Amino acid sequence: MGNTYSIQGSLSKRDARRMTSAIRSGTVGPTTLYYAGVTAPVIGASMALVSQGALTQIEMSPYWVTMLSAIIAAMAGVTWYLIFMRWAYRHQHGRAAEMSQNTEVRLEGEQLVVRRDLVETRIDWEAIREIISKRSYTLVLFDGADPLMLPHDWFGEKTACEIFMRRLGQGSKGAWPETENQT
């Protein structure tokens, strides 16, 4: 297993969309959900206080002040939540340098090495959680690192792709069940 296997290329917009749909379960991130969930109740409570004050000034019965304040607060909270979620909708695919920089992927000894421009990331084989191979790409999922997409057109030839994937599967120690039986 001393051979080094290497490929390189750049993700196209289509590749980035494929990776996004393969790894994301929704169109908004967890931080957005958190902030929308935190701010909507605050806005609802604020509107309850404002409407309570306004309705009390016109000498409405306490029952109707409470009911109308609650309805206005609920509508304000839900409206803010929906507006916030719409503003936060993800429109772009890919992260930082994935789209603009050439990516080089090497399989060396006990590590997978990913290099983009001046940044090199070394990932031990044990960190590979899963390898998902589709018709036109392979997606490598890691523990503690961002997923890596390997479009098959980076290889040029089908045999080069097969050799690289076989070596990746051997090193990953079971992340890719199809390669466990191969030697």
Q: What is the pLDDT of residues 110-134, one digit of tens each?
A: 888 888 888 888 988 888 888 888 8
> What's the pLDDT at 69?
94
- For position 93, what pLDDT does the model report? 46
| CA separation for the pair 94, 14 (Å, rounded) | 10
Answer with the residue of higher pLDDT: 20 or 4.
Answer: 4
Please determine, for residue 154, whether its predicted confidence score (pLDDT) is greater than 60: yes
- Which tokens belong to 96? 């930082």
Tell me, letter by letter, the H, E, C secondary structure of 67-110: HHHHHHHHHHHHHHHHHHHHHCCCCCCCCHHHCCCCEEEEEECC
Q: What are phi and psi of 120, to 5 degrees?
A: -120, 130
The one-letter amino acid at 98: E
Task: Extract the tokens encoding 1.
Answer: 């297993």
Write the pLDDT tens digit of every residue in 22-62.
Answer: 666 556 667 777 777 788 888 999 999 999 999 999 989 99
Residue linked to tokens 């993800």 = 90
pTM score:
0.54
Are 140 and 168 a contacting pair, CB within 8 Å?
A: yes
Listed range (86-90, 101-105, 159-163) with the worst mean pLDDT: 86-90
pLDDT of residue 87: 74
pLDDT computed for residue 181 by the predictor: 43
The count of residues in the chain is 183
- Look at residue 160 and tell me whether its pLDDT is greater than 60: yes
